[in-house]
Amino acid sequence: MEIFQIAGIGIIATILIIILKQTRPEFTLLVSIVTGVIIFAYLLPKLSYVIDTISSLSSRVNVDISYFDTLIKIIGIAYIVEFASQICRDAGQDAIAMKVELGGKVIIMVLAIPVLLALLDLIIKILP
């Protein structure tokens, strides 16, 4: 079970950060980044399995594949933005975290525009 490994990594990293916090606060951020990266890397194969399953499902029900691609991209961007903004917030830089999140939102919006346009097209077609 990976959950025990992840929990163990989290606990160990927390203990190390508490030890380091009094003397060298600069290193606590680096330890927390590495912990985040390692846990993320444990989860990536699972995520790829989920995505493969969903994409096979979507191909079975005959949904347009390009919309599904957009969806996956948006999820990926959300993960990355969350990762970066959490690191910034950990270091006490809330303003930078907000900016990173803003960047993520704008890029997601740009990605979503084709879907929006398709939706509008559909509505116009349905309306008499």
Partner 1 sequence: MNVDLIFRIAAIGMITAILHIVLEKSGRQEYAYLVTLVGIIIVLGAVINLVSQLFADVRVIFRLY
Residues that bind partner 1 in the complex, under the rule CB under 8 A = 9, 12-13, 16, 19-20, 23-24, 26-27, 30-31, 33-35, 37-38, 40-42, 44, 47-48, 51, 69, 72-73, 75-77, 79-80
Terminal CA-CA length for the chain: 56
Least separation, in Å, of the C-beta of 22 and partner 1?
9
Which amino acid makes up residue 108? I
What would the DSSP string read from start to end of 52-101?
Answer: HHHHHHHHHTT--HHHHHHHHHHHHHHHHHHHHHHHHHHTT-HHHHHHHH
Please, which residue, 16 or 96, has the CB nearer to partner 1?
16
Please, which residue, 24 or 122, has the CB nearer to partner 1?
24
Residue given tokens 């084709």 in the structure block: 114
Least separation, in Å, of the C-beta of 62 and partner 1?
20
